């Protein structure tokens, strides 16, 4: 049955993608984030869903898109420079064949960013892409939330497949989707659809708690504070939070409470966190010895790197750690910043951080111009992107997701608004909603 549904989806997506390339972009995002091919075990495995949609979308753009021009801005410059620098580091990597193969996979993500900036040119296109993101990640998270509730909190939420299989990685993705759900809530006028999205929103919060991820919980807390800060009825929501949280805490399983209570003592008592400290120290030592190019993709988890630097970790840096066991399996960086530092050196990390800076700066500018030109939908989306990026930057301290597709999709959305000046009224956009997704006064009317 799953195979039939996937093949049916493929044919429908191909049909509409040929006519409207932006639908192909949305399908591309959905497939990349949820990896639906892993759901089936029959004949549909012979279909390369992602490759098929990519080829159809590119052909549709070449033959059906009328105004073809290469869209380029400051963010695109840093992303292209990062692509070039990661290629250099891959060619000079500790394990060059592995790193080059990884680079080929990563360049597909950057190719997606490029085609977002070429094809997505209207509000309708943006909304379709955001719906695809939410349906890919948040719908699965909501299903897992139901299992958490029915099991009394004992069900452990994990990602379905692909890059988000790890529960910490999945918690990052769900955190990033929460602001996008808020944007969609106030972008739609349909009452029942709003209610469904609110259910999806709170279901995603339950799913984050259900992962048991400390980083996910910290990210959720930071996100809640940021949303509260942007609201107008701060006192009301503070009172509601103080009333709801203690009750909700009583229904969480004992294992979850114990895990969150180790946040303050993780550096001395948690074996998992100590393992990450080893990986971070090795990343810094590797970058110290290779400051320009680092060790290439995945270098820290390469046995030759891990076992070469492991004996020097106990006294390296401000935090002392025990000596790693000699037969210990190498760990991934588990931190996007240390991951890039070890993989591509200090220069690579600088370019990566400049990408972040560019996303935040352009997004902030988009929001200001949206207010100036009375385009509240664009301001709502700008706020949503900012909060999603904050969630990523915070929870990224706990995961190896430096090359996560959704980060570059967010960058693509920011670039599209700036390049095509979608904050201007004369862009002939759909009538914007008067509500603000981060205006609590408006939330009461939803």
Inter-residue contact 119 to 25 (CB < 8 Å)? yes
Looking at residue 57, its pLDDT comes to 87
Looking at residue 166, its pLDDT comes to 83
Tell me the C-alpha distance between 331 and 313, whole Å.
14
Looking at residue 31, its pLDDT comes to 87
Cα pseudo-dihedral 51, 52, 55, 61, rounded to 10: -130
- pLDDT, tens digit only, all 446 positions of the chain: 666 777 777 778 777 788 889 999 999 999 888 877 666 655 555 567 778 888 888 888 888 766 666 777 889 999 999 999 999 999 999 999 999 999 999 999 999 999 999 999 999 999 999 999 999 999 999 998 898 888 877 788 887 766 677 888 899 999 999 999 999 998 998 889 999 999 999 899 989 888 888 888 888 888 888 888 877 777 877 776 776 666 566 556 666 666 666 555 555 556 777 888 999 999 999 999 999 999 999 999 999 999 999 999 988 888 888 888 888 888 888 899 999 999 999 999 999 999 999 999 999 999 999 999 999 999 999 999 999 999 999 989 888 999 999 999 999 999 999 999 998 885 454 444 444 445 544 433 43
Looking at residue 275, its pLDDT comes to 86
Tell me the C-alpha distance between 144 and 159, whole Å.
9
CB atoms within 10 A of CB 100: 15
Residue 135 tokens read as 């349906």
């Amino acid at each position: 049955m799953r195979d039939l549904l996937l093949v049916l989806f493929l044919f429908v997506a191909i049909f509409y993608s040929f006519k409207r390339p932006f639908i192909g972009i949305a399908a591309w995002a959905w497939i990349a984030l949820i990896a639906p091919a892993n759901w089936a075990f029959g004949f549909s495995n012979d279909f390369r869903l992602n490759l098929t949609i990519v080829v159809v979308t590119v052909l549709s753009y070449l033959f059906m898109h009328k105004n073809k021009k290469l869209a380029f801005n400051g963010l695109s410059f840093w992303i292209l420079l990062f692509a070039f620098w990661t290629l250099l580091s891959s060619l000079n990597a500790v394990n060059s064949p592995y790193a080059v193969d990884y680079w080929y996979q990563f360049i597909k993500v950057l190719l997606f960013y490029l085609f977002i900036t070429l094809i997505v040119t209207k509000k309708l296109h943006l909304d379709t892409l955001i719906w695809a993101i939410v349906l890919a990640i948040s719908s699965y998270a909501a299903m897992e939330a139901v299992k958490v509730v029915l099991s009394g909190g004992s069900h452990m939420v994990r990602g379905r497949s692909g890059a988000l299989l790890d529960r910490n990685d999945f918690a990052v993705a769900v955190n990033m989707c929460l602001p996008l759900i808020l944007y969609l809530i106030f972008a739609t006028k349909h009452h029942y659809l709003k209610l469904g999205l609110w259910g999806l929103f709170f279901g995603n919060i339950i799913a984050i708690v259900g992962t048991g991820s400390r980083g996910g919980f910290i990210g959720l807390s930071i996100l809640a504070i940021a949303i509260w800060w942007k609201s107008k009825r701060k006192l009301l929501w503070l009172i509601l939070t103080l009333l709801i949280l203690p009750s909700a805490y009583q229904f969480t399983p004992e294992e979850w409470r114990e895990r969150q209570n180790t946040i303050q003592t993780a550096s001395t008592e948690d074996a998992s966190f100590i393992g990450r400290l080893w990986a971070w120290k090795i990343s810094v030592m590797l970058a110290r010895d290779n400051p320009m190019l680092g060790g290439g993709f995945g270098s820290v988890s390469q046995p030759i790197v891990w076992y070469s630097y492991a004996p020097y970790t106990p006294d390296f840096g401000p935090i002392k750690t025990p000596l790693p066991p000699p037969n210990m399996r190498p760990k991934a960086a588990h931190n996007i910043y240390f991951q890039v530092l070890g993989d591509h050196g200090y220069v690579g990390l600088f370019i990566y951080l400049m990408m972040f800076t560019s996303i935040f700066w352009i997004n902030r500018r988009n929001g200001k111009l949206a207010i100036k030109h009375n385009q509240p939908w664009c301001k709502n989306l700008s706020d949503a992107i900012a909060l999603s990026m904050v969630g990523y930057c915070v929870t990224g301290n706990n995961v190896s997701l430096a090359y996560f597709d959704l980060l570059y999709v967010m960058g693509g959305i920011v670039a599209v608004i700036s390049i095509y000046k979608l904050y201007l009224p004369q862009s002939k956009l759909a009538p914007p909603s008067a509500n603000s997704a981060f205006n609590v006064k408006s939330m009461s009317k939803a």
